[in-house]
Amino acid sequence: MNRVLRSLAVLLLAGVLAACASGRYVATSQAVAQEPPSAPVRSDPVGATVPLAQEIRTLVRAPRGREVPIQAAASDAEVADAEVADAEVVGPEASCEEDRCEGEWKRHKVSLTLGGAVERDELGGVIGLGYEYRLDRYLGVSIAGEYLTGDFRESSIGVGINLHPTERLFLVAAVGTAFEKLREGGELLVRLGGGYDFEIRDGFGVAPSLYVDFVKDRPPVFIFAFEFGKGW
């Protein structure tokens, strides 16, 4: 009887040990299955391991029998970084010339002026030509010639300073000569005024403008006009 009990105890102890060993194996298998796969590695000439994604070298046979190491293609991230570093600057800064980055403006501008003139009871039309050279973003110099029809029948020519406080708004202060006949001496003319430039397309624009001409011993002449211009 004692031998039977001893045999049963030995069998029970063996079963417990087998169950424990089986549980450890299952837990180890699950832990290994949950671990993410590691990147494949290779050994470099000195025995250190590096990921294959960083550097892959292939040996090819040279024409004269020499083995030449060939660097593999760079990764996508390295290619993207190189493209960004070598990319050319595109946009307003790339097309800026000197100080033209602050807003869009043209160095040269020619214009045709069409409008009307009023001096108390006198009325007339205005036709003229002008040219402006921009020194910088805010300042320009101009020259203009006009002919007043109707009750005036006189011409004028002058040079002026053009101030551009904003991209579209401009103010003009000019001096010149007003004369009825070219062969006769003229009178000093001072002009003050300004306008607002509306760009249409490709440097073409129209600017409604208002000027006041002051001539000695005469009432002021008010000029309302549209200036059709082309800048480049």
- The alpha carbon of 20 is separated from its chain's Cα centroid by a whole number of angstroms, namely 72
Residue 178, strand partner residues: 156, 187
- β-strand 139-148 against 108-119: which pairing, if any? unpaired
Is residue 179 included in any domain, yes or no?
A: yes
Residue 171, C-beta contacts closer than 8 angstroms, at least 6 positions apart: 162, 163, 164, 165, 193, 194
**Predicted confidence pLDDT, tens digits, the chain (232 residues):** 556 556 656 666 666 565 555 555 444 555 545 555 555 555 555 555 545 445 444 444 445 555 545 454 455 556 556 554 554 444 444 455 544 555 578 999 999 999 999 998 899 999 999 999 999 999 999 999 999 999 999 999 999 999 999 999 999 999 999 988 756 778 999 999 999 999 999 899 999 999 999 998 899 999 999 999 999 9
For 188, the domain range is 108-231
Please tell me the distance from the alpha carbon of residue 164 to that of residue 99, in angstroms, as a whole number. 14
CATH of the domain at 161: 2.40.160.20
Token digits of residue 114: 């069409």
Please tell me the pTM assigned to this model. Answer: 0.57
Please tell me the distance from the alpha carbon of residue 7 to that of residue 171, in angstroms, as a whole number. 117
Is residue 30 included in any domain, yes or no?
A: no
Please tell me the distance from the alpha carbon of residue 196 to that of residue 194, in angstroms, as a whole number. 7
| Alpha helices, H only, 123-228 | none
Task: Domain count for the chain, please give it.
Answer: 1
Determine contact, residues 220/214, Cβ cutoff 8 Å. yes
Token digits of residue 173: 């202060």
Is residue 53 included in any domain, yes or no?
A: no
Is residue 61 included in any domain, yes or no?
A: no
Is residue 15 included in any domain, yes or no?
A: no
- Measured between its terminal Cα atoms, the distance across the chain in Å is 119
The residue type of 30 is: Q
Is residue 101 included in any domain, yes or no?
A: no
Is residue 221 included in any domain, yes or no?
A: yes
Is residue 202 included in any domain, yes or no?
A: yes
